[in-house]
Amino acid sequence: MPPRGQIPMDEKPPSQQNLRHTELKPRRGLRREEAALYIGVSPSKFDDLVKDRRMPRPKLIDGCKTWDIWKLDIAYDELPEDDGKGNDIDFAV
């Protein structure tokens, strides 16, 4: 029996069991696939967005390309919003 006030290791909530290093701390740099997933598109669509400068260019860390999550947020905010015309989805509540 553990000391009073302590939860036995096998009884801790799943969110506190087997945490990996990346889950303990948010990352600022994302690899291509992660950056695409972050903004909600496929990696090939993400490549198109980078190519036409709607998404930022990557940073290089010893030849490894990573995208700054802060710059992704800014670029995403600058994307146009759907005007609702020509769309068959009704967002009205």
pLDDT in tens, the chain (93 residues): 555 555 455 554 444 445 454 455 678 999 999 999 999 999 999 999 999 999 999 999 999 999 999 999 999 999 999 988 866 665 555
The pLDDT of residue 59 is 98
Q: Which DSSP category does 15 fall into? A: G
Q: Is residue 45 part of a domain?
A: yes
The pLDDT of residue 51 is 98
Cβ atoms < 10 Å from Cβ of 4: 5
CA distance 33 to 16: 26
Q: Is residue 1 part of a domain?
A: no
pTM of the shown model: 0.64
Cβ atoms < 10 Å from Cβ of 91: 7
Q: Which run of H or E residues covers position 31?
A: none
38: domain range? 26-78
Q: Is residue 83 part of a domain?
A: no
Largest CA distance in the chain: 64
Q: Is residue 34 part of a domain?
A: yes
The pLDDT of residue 34 is 97
What amino acid occupies position 93? V
The pLDDT of residue 70 is 97
CA distance 93 to 88: 15
Q: Is residue 10 part of a domain?
A: no
Q: Is residue 40 part of a domain?
A: yes
The pLDDT of residue 92 is 59
Q: Is residue 85 part of a domain?
A: no
Q: Is residue 16 part of a domain?
A: no
Cβ atoms < 10 Å from Cβ of 67: 25
Domain count, the chain: 1
The pLDDT of residue 24 is 53
